[in-house]
Structure 1
Amino acid sequence: MDKNDKMTTSDEDDDLSSSDGEDKELEERASLLEGELMNNKYLYEVHLEVVEIYRKLGDIKSMRAAYDRFSEYFPLTSTIWLAWIKDEIKISTSSSEKKNILALFERAVKDYLSVDVWLEYVQYCLGNFELDETYKTLEKGLSTAGLHTNQGSLLWDLLRELELTQLALHEPLTDKWKQQVVKVVDAFKRQLSVPLMHMESSYSEWKELVGKLPSEYTIDPKPIEWGYQQALKTLKTYQPFEDQLLIEQDEETLYNIYKEYIKVTKILLLLYACMKEQ
């Protein structure tokens, strides 16, 4: 292996290195597993073990090839994608390498619906690219995973944090401040109209914000109140399904829960569509 293909990191607890004594054993094991994959590409556990071996060896070239091959035959879970992406982030320094990280995130969000992946994606953009790119990515995440009842609020919270951070940069009651307040209010309005777990906490933060606004500045809370109450009613319908999904282990039972959950969701969406037409 060329020394330029060897992954290095300064993290003390990094799991990508192994002692010289282990390297030979790991390389032999990898060679054996590669032989198995030559005969059958659909061995999920073998793919998984191979990428982990290359990660331990710090063999970035072989690791990338193994991940690419793995993703060609199976959708990768969020855990696997994030492990790969975080490894790449540790060694990415140039603009082209950072753009490659974005490409990996784009591949990751297409395999499974994962709020965790979207959060990491947005956070990466926030730390490495212009704010416009962060907002663009966050909006994509919200359109894809913002309706996730159990975890979607994490993405909405991030939007509100970004808007509130921008608000803090302006003097109260200036034109720019007023423009930013509109964006903050809109973020709350959008979030509170979606049935999400723990949305009562977001509503409390909304009330707190309203109470802190200068008395000279007024807003109409009615649209937000209406959206929140409607979303809260819907959440009460979703809640039993979410509770079951958190504790159920049997795959067949989980499948039946999801089927019933989807059926109820479709009925509610049809009802809302009819209400809007009236």
Structure 2
Amino acid sequence: MSELPAIGLGTWQNTDPEVCAESVRTALEMGYQHIDTAQYYGNEEAVGEGIASADVPREDVFVGSKVHAEKFGLAHDEVIEGLEVTLDRLGLDSLDLLYVHWPVGNYDAAETMPAFDELVDRGLIDHVGVCNFSTELLDEAMDHLESPLFAHQAETHPLLQQDELVEHAREHDYYHVAYSPLARGDVFDIPEVEAIAEKHDVSAPQVSLAWLLGRENVRTVPKATSEAHIRDNFGALDLELDDEDIERIESIERTERYVERDGAPWLED
């Protein structure tokens, strides 16, 4: 699958093995085609069980995971080893998309990114991605990649609109993948989003997701575990916001970032 589906199922903090596997199976049989996980999440085996149990062909499922500096490391051979462990946990022969989870620890573009090229050449991954990068780090990563950059994942929602990163994705023709697209549930407390939801008789999460998907080159991976929430998020595909709605969200002045960690690019001067 060469295209990244619009909405994927995020699995961060979905650590109960039975709940995780069932949510993945439910999402895939509902029509989702993209599952997002990571070494750091500690749920790759459960995600793999969910994929295996779903009545959906493997070729119809886009699976992405992430290598992490604190798990296996990001030196060349550590990336290779980490991917092999991830595939074993997922029960897959290859991965559609592998990301660098954070540009921290022993991440070094000149050493880390060529390992991704090797994995592509060996047929173990189809696409290369990174997460939580700045535009400067994105440029550096692309300079050390022979493969095209396929996706950059970053926290993005109405309270953190990431215009610079989204524009960079447009300019360089890769996907900007919005994680935490519901602002950790705070979309219910954003007056502008609630007003638009009431106008269209939909949920606040659907408004946030539809706004994101209306932006060029943007995809999203909302986390959900219950069938009701998985279905509600998927309903955003049927919602089309008008220009007034979009302008109302873009004019929100409040800014909130929910994901922080030592060494994050935005903490550096």
Identify, as 1 or 2, the structure richer in helix: 1
Tell me which of the two structures has the higher relative contact order, counting C-alpha pairs closer than 8 angstroms and 6 or more residues apart: 2
Task: State the TM-score, normalized to the length of structure 1.
Answer: 0.26
Find the structure with the greater CA-based Rg: 1
